[in-house]
Structure 1
Amino acid sequence: MAAVHLFRPPIFAFVVFLFFLNCRPVLSVSDTELLLKLKQSFTNAKSLDSWSSETTTPCEGKTSWVGVLCYNGVITGLRLGEMGLSGNIDVKALEKMPGLRSVSFTNNAFSGPLPKFNRLGALKAIYLTGNKFSGEIPSDYFAGMSSLKKVWLANNEFMGEIPVSLAKLKHLIEVHLEDNKFTGKIPSITQATLTSFNVSNNDLKGGIPSSLSKFNMSSFTGNAGLCGKQLGKVCDATLPPQELELPDGGGLDAAIGNALPAESPESKMGTGHATSAKVALASITFIVVVLSLVIAAIVVIKRRRDELEIFGGDLDDPPVDVYVTPRSNRKSVEQSSWKGMESSRKSSSHSTRSLSQASKASSQNNKAGGSSNGEAGVGDLIIVNDEKGIFGLPDLMKAAAEVLGNGGLGSAYKAVMSSGVAVVVKRMREMNRIGKEGFDAEMRQLGRLRHRNILTPLAYHYRKEEKLMIYEFVPKGSLLYLLHGDKGPCHAELDWPVRLKIVRGIVHGMSFLHNELSCYELPHGNLKSSNIFLGSEYEPLLSDYGLCAFVSPNHAAQALFAYRAPESQQNRQISPKCDVYCLGIVILEILTGKFPSQYLNNGKGGIDVVQWVLSAISENREIDLFDPEIAQDATSLSEMERLLHVGAACVDHDPVRRLGMKDAIRRIEDIHVEEDSRGGIQVAPSLRDGYGDLTSRSHTVNVREGYGELSSRRSSRESNSGRRESSSRRRGDEDSFEFAIS
């Protein structure tokens, strides 16, 4: 009996508590073991050397495991594209990662049947493009994957019919099945959320479902048996012989007559009843047709509204700490345009549709042609900068458009016109602070700006409800992507000399704007890394400046980053010092390599770089702040610290103590590269000698594939090639994080 009394409830509770306490570290070890088990299933896994039990756990420490995405210590995604992997994919190991939402194994050498990813019911994105997977996919494969949004199986060797279970995924956004051996008919996929669809280069037959009519020819080419208006091939409306057999000696009337029930005596009571029946039948038919048209109109309107709101991102997804889609895994329209990208014959049409579909509401009253004569008529495309030639609104409406993203001010599309010129079309809302004439005057002023570090707008289209602003398409993309994306070739080149060059170029551009737009409350107003694009030589180009003239103050507080300055949020005080605050954030972002939480509306995710940096400086721990990829340059640490202190002075909470733009420029110009480790890289000339020479020079940007943040990609195709020459690229998973374009 005494032994029984020893095990009292309090002691039992304490034992349970110790059990769960001891279980906590086992969870992270479990993640380590699961990933190592997955690694063991691969062959030639040298690219995963960072996956080691001797290092930190996958989601902890400064050095994360390559290709592993985490959020709050939980593995949420795997990005293992282009790593030379083959063998098997151990799905059983992945099953034990409850937070896993996306997997990418693109452009590797995996083969065999499609792995059983359908065991992972919470997956939102699967990317398997560019492997050697083969065989048929069961028709019910996707039945249990209700969360799935993106399916990329292109450039493999799958055969059989397209799984009909795809059509039942309610949240489907992207489907890419091109360059396989699929047969049969295309299932009717009716989801309004679908923005990207491609089944080109298969062996499909039959008509293109009307629910997919919004996608253009490139989504369906290479299927000899397909027909539909997109392909310019009318489908045969006659039924096959086995479905309608005519009796011997009889015609069509006889065939129909034999198919009807025999007449009863009552049915032969004269023509009066027959006439009444015909009238009734006609009335019913008319009512059915009218109702069908009404329902179709409602569906089209809802679909358009959904398409404009959903561009592939997950608005309800938890933010990932800092992850930007790896561009090296994305599709490109012109394969030669992507740096380091090899030739490929494959093609896809990610997020491709006519821009007229995306902006139809803006163009119903359009006049034909562009307008370069200074008349800002409603419906015209007004050219304010003719460096890329003259083009009109019809040229844009006919162009294939790709959704790039959406932000506080609207949506962005990439459009490639028939001339080959690629532009970015920003569809802006909430820009009604000034009327049509004032808008025209402001746009023409911005269009006259010329500076090597400024991206000048090309044209605009005005309507009261919304405006289109057209910009040049920049090659490398945004600073945000290069800093926070996967560690590809471009990221590897971001050493200390290049980063200092970028900072100097930014302050050159800001100095120019503060001189030319000195009458503005905020000469830039929206400076952040997503609005800084990089030319081929890493020369920065500032965009989205001067927008405060168009946006009402109430909406600007939500849409423009300068309004996040402390004095604006607390006292609604706006001045050029707010631009200085934004400059400081960008400088700290460049030096630390951390994504600033200040960019996010809800403050969730990223790092509060201001608090982090100021705290470390107060404790003389500056050396701990620098991005490890530049901290190894010991000869330049003192110069890095000088720039760090400039950035800290730019984000001072008190605008009176905060550096002015001229002082910031002066201090940055005093910082030099101690040793040119890149073999001759040059930073921009000093502004203290006068920037008159710079103001007369226009930036030069090659129009190549590559737009900042989360742009979609396509692979190129050699039409006469009958075999695969190289693996095509795919667009990276964008479920992990979505960055605003404005």
Structure 2
Amino acid sequence: MNNSLSGPIPDLHLPKLKHLNLSNNNLSGPIPPSLQKFPTSSFLGNVFLCGIPLEPCPGTSPSPSPVSPSPPNTRSFWNKLSLEEKVQSLAQHQLHPKERPLQVEGEKNPRENTAADLLRASAEVLGKGSYGTTYKAVLEDGTIVVVKRLKEVVAGKKDFEQQMELVGKVGQHQNVVPLRAYYYSKDEKLLVYDYVQLGSLSAALHGNKAAGRTPMDWETRVKIALGAARGMAYLHAEGGGKFIHGNIKSSNILISQEISACVTEFGIAQLMAPPHIHPRLIGYRAPEVLETKKPTQKSDVYSFGVLLLEMLTGKAPLRSPGREDFIEHLPRWVQSVVREEWTSEVFDVDLLKHPNIEDEMVQMLQVAMACVAVLPDQRPRMEEVVGRIEEIRNSYSDTRTSPEDKI
């Protein structure tokens, strides 16, 4: 457990294996048949795992016998939608600006994709989050979109549609993933986003190094932190200063082809039932949110501070160092180390291999610690965070890079 393992579990044929604990990792996909005999506790804490003994994989039916689940490619949830009425409804809620329809890269005469295209698309499960399941859908003309199938929405249709229209208008920023369409019915609530090619910050930070993953260098981390901060500051400034993300975490920071951060899943928290917070996500939640269940802009800042600490330390926001009965929050651990004046020991060992960046990392650590202040009023605004990260980047980039190489 707690080994930062990621990816699918291989079908291990080890008949003499008596005990198995793969809990609290980043494993994904179906549990192979040879391991389905082990209890649920062997697999807990892997949000993207599915199949016996956990919940069935999307597109499969529960089975009392340990049969091999289907691969996580499914069209079944689309088939639940009745095309006659629902295509028209979904088409009315497409948020593509007419001058900027979804298009295939390099296509000279793109046509606007209709809801029918979306519903006929093949869908692949990307993962399960606290708000629902996310799918990658390839439309008939080759365009790739991401569809989020929400669960436990408590907002009525009018409130849902008003919020989604606002999200569609607000999400026009280079560091924000735009909402392209949405759908609301009694049984289905769907959101359609642009597909961001390089995946999430979480995968980039915690992916399997044994699989040849190159550790993310410091300049890349600074660039992504700055982009994410700019996206968050923009969202906070829109909507009369009342707009809240509510679910900032490394898996909701996506990395574009230009190695720029794009914030996704914003504006949904207000529509959802107070979530049963997955243990992995408790580490991102501000102390007051764990009590009130109501996110604010100040709690967004706290979550962003945890995100910065995750990038600085390379560690997950919630840890169980050697003891299953002891949970350690990342901010608390960093504070304890810094208090003992062992500041350099908090940093990711992959970063310490690079020369002349420790002072810059210490300054970024100070920004992060300001964001995770226990009292909300002591935390900076996201606009201030952007300014401080820009100062840190600019004060050191001249000494390390040529002008054309600057971030």
Normalising by the smaller structure, the TM-score range is: 0.7 to 0.9
Mapped partners of 1:605, 1:103: distance in 2: 30
Query: Is residue 2:250 matched to residue 1:529?
Result: yes
Query: Is residue 2:135 matched to residue 1:396?
Result: no
SS in 2 for 1:492: coil
Mapped partners of 1:562, 1:145: distance in 2: 29
Query: Is residue 2:37 matched to residue 1:147?
Result: yes
Q: Could you tell me whether the CA contact under 8 Å between 1:455 and 1:542 is conserved in 2?
A: yes
Higher RCO structure (Cα 8 Å, ≥6 apart): 1
Query: Is residue 2:95 matched to residue 1:384?
Result: yes
Kindly provide the CA deviation profile for residues 10-62 of structure 1, in whole angstroms up to 9, marking residues without a partner as x: xxxxxxxxxxxxxxxxxxxxxxxxxxxxxxxxxxxxxxxxxxxxxxxxxxxxx
Kindly provide the CA deviation profile for residues 93-124 of structure 1, in whole angstroms up to 9, marking residues without a partner as x: xxxxxxxxx558xxxxxxxxxx9644446679
1:21-36 pair list within 5 angstroms:
none
Once the two structures are TM-superposed, the CA of residue 669 in structure 1 deviates from its matched residue by 1.7
Q: Could you tell me whether the CA contact under 8 Å between 2:283 and 2:318 is conserved in 1?
A: no
- Find the counterpart in structure 1 of residue 232 from structure 2: 510
Q: What one-letter code is carried by the residue in structure 1 that aligns with 2:375?
A: D
Query: Is residue 2:400 matched to residue 1:682?
Result: no
Q: Could you tell me whether the CA contact under 8 Å between 1:429 and 1:467 is conserved in 2?
A: yes
- Find the counterpart in structure 2 of residue 462 from structure 1: 184
SS in 2 for 1:367: helix
- Find the counterpart in structure 2 of residue 635 from structure 1: 356
1:698-737 pair list within 5 angstroms:
none
Kindly provide the CA deviation profile for residues 412-468 of structure 1, in whole angstroms up to 9, marking residues without a partner as x: 1111121111111111122232x3233223212222231110001111111133300
Mapped partners of 1:471, 1:506: distance in 2: 17
Rate the CA distance shift 1:464–1:605 in 2: closer, same or farther, 3 A. Answer: farther
| Count, aligned residues | 364
Mapped partners of 2:276, 2:268: distance in 1: 9
Once the two structures are TM-superposed, the CA of residue 567 in structure 1 deviates from its matched residue by 1.9
Q: Could you tell me whether the CA contact under 8 Å between 2:136 and 2:147 is conserved in 1?
A: yes
Query: Is residue 2:77 matched to residue 1:358?
Result: yes
Q: What one-letter code is carried by the residue in structure 2 that aligns with 1:650?
A: C
Q: What one-letter code is carried by the residue in structure 1 that aligns with 2:102?
A: K
Once the two structures are TM-superposed, the CA of residue 147 in structure 1 deviates from its matched residue by 2.6
- Find the counterpart in structure 1 of residue 204 from structure 2: 482
Task: For structure 2, list consecutive stretches of 5 or more residues without a partner in the other structure.
Answer: 23-31, 40-50, 104-111
Once the two structures are TM-superposed, the CA of residue 670 in structure 1 deviates from its matched residue by 1.2
Kindly provide the CA deviation profile for residues 543-565 of structure 1, in whole angstroms up to 9, marking residues without a partner as x: 0011133224x348779979921
SS in 1 for 2:356: helix
Once the two structures are TM-superposed, the CA of residue 510 in structure 1 deviates from its matched residue by 0.9
Query: Is residue 2:85 matched to residue 1:367?
Result: yes
SS in 2 for 1:635: coil
- Find the counterpart in structure 2 of residue 586 from structure 1: 307
Once the two structures are TM-superposed, the CA of residue 656 in structure 1 deviates from its matched residue by 2.1
Mapped partners of 2:390, 2:384: distance in 1: 10
Rate the CA distance shift 1:123–1:555 in 2: closer, same or farther, 3 A. Answer: closer
Kindly provide the CA deviation profile for residues 617-664 of structure 1, in whole angstroms up to 9, marking residues without a partner as x: 222211111111111223111011000011011101111222232332
Rate the CA distance shift 1:632–1:459 in 2: closer, same or farther, 3 A. Answer: same
Q: What one-letter code is carried by the residue in structure 1 that aligns with 2:189?
A: K
Rate the CA distance shift 1:669–1:146 in 2: closer, same or farther, 3 A. Answer: closer
Rate the CA distance shift 1:573–1:459 in 2: closer, same or farther, 3 A. Answer: closer
Rate the CA distance shift 1:145–1:512 in 2: closer, same or farther, 3 A. Answer: closer
Rate the CA distance shift 1:470–1:119 in 2: closer, same or farther, 3 A. Answer: same
Kindly provide the CA deviation profile for residues 555-588 of structure 1, in whole angstroms up to 9, marking residues without a partner as x: 4877997992112224566531111101100000
SS in 2 for 1:420: coil
Task: For structure 1, list consecutive stretches of 5 or more residues without a partner in the other structure.
Answer: 1-70, 82-101, 105-114, 126-141, 150-169, 174-191, 196-213, 215-302, 313-348, 372-376, 684-742
Q: Could you tell me whether the CA contact under 8 Å between 1:460 and 1:469 is conserved in 2?
A: yes
- Find the counterpart in structure 1 of residue 381 from structure 2: 660
Mapped partners of 1:510, 1:143: distance in 2: 43
Q: Which region of structure 1 is more displaced relative to structure 2, 393-402 or 459-468? A: 393-402
Mapped partners of 1:612, 1:76: distance in 2: 18
Query: Is residue 2:288 matched to residue 1:567?
Result: yes
Mapped partners of 2:354, 2:4: distance in 1: 33
- Find the counterpart in structure 2 of residue 271 from structure 1: none
- Find the counterpart in structure 1 of residue 132 from structure 2: 410
- Find the counterpart in structure 2 of residue 257 from structure 1: none
Q: What one-letter code is carried by the residue in structure 2 that aligns with 1:388?
A: L
Mapped partners of 2:295, 2:14: distance in 1: 52
- Find the counterpart in structure 1 of residue 160 from structure 2: 439
SS in 2 for 1:388: coil
Q: Could you tell me whether the CA contact under 8 Å between 1:497 and 1:681 is conserved in 2?
A: no
Mapped partners of 1:439, 1:627: distance in 2: 41
Mapped partners of 1:359, 1:593: distance in 2: 38
SS in 1 for 2:179: coil
Q: What one-letter code is carried by the residue in structure 2 that aligns with 1:147?
A: K
Q: Identical aligned pairs, as a percentage?
A: 29
Kindly provide the CA deviation profile for residues 187-218 of structure 1, in whole angstroms up to 9, marking residues without a partner as x: xxxxx9576xxxxxxxxxxxxxxxxxx8xxxx
Rate the CA distance shift 1:143–1:589 in 2: closer, same or farther, 3 A. Answer: closer
Query: Alpha carbon RMSD of aligned pairs, Å?
Result: 4.0
Rate the CA distance shift 1:494–1:305 in 2: closer, same or farther, 3 A. Answer: same
Q: What one-letter code is carried by the residue in structure 2 that aligns with 1:524?
A: H
Kindly provide the CA deviation profile for residues 293-325 of structure 1, in whole angstroms up to 9, marking residues without a partner as x: xxxxxxxxxx6477xxxx98xxxxxxxxxxxxx
TM (normalized to structure 1)?
0.44
Q: What one-letter code is carried by the residue in structure 2 that aligns with 1:500?
A: V
- Find the counterpart in structure 2 of residue 328 from structure 1: none
Q: What one-letter code is carried by the residue in structure 2 that aligns with 1:536?
A: Q
- Find the counterpart in structure 2 of residue 542 from structure 1: 263
Mapped partners of 1:486, 1:430: distance in 2: 32
Kindly provide the CA deviation profile for residues 347-375 of structure 1, in whole angstroms up to 9, marking residues without a partner as x: xx94223x2x12433x1364375x5xxxx
Q: What one-letter code is carried by the residue in structure 1 that aligns with 2:300?
A: D
Larger Rg: 1
Rate the CA distance shift 1:613–1:680 in 2: closer, same or farther, 3 A. Answer: farther
Once the two structures are TM-superposed, the CA of residue 393 in structure 1 deviates from its matched residue by 3.3
SS in 1 for 2:85: coil
1:321-332 pair list within 5 angstroms:
none
Equivalent position to 1:595, from 293, 316, 320: 316
Q: What one-letter code is carried by the residue in structure 1 that aligns with 2:306?
A: I
Q: Could you tell me whether the CA contact under 8 Å between 2:224 and 2:259 is conserved in 1?
A: yes
1:146-545 pair list within 5 angstroms:
147=37, 171=52, 193=56, 304=61, 350-353=71-74, 355=75, 357-361=76-80, 363-364=81-82, 366-367=84-85, 369=87, 377=89, 380=91, 382-386=93-97, 387-389=101-103, 390-433=112-155, 435-448=156-169, 449-487=171-209, 491-492=213-214, 494-520=216-242, 523-545=244-266
Q: Could you tell me whether the CA contact under 8 Å between 2:283 and 2:317 is conserved in 1?
A: no
Mapped partners of 1:78, 1:556: distance in 2: 24
SS in 2 for 1:459: strand
Q: Could you tell me whether the CA contact under 8 Å between 2:284 and 2:306 is conserved in 1?
A: no
Q: What one-letter code is carried by the residue in structure 2 that aligns with 1:591?
A: L
Q: What one-letter code is carried by the residue in structure 1 that aligns with 2:79?
A: K
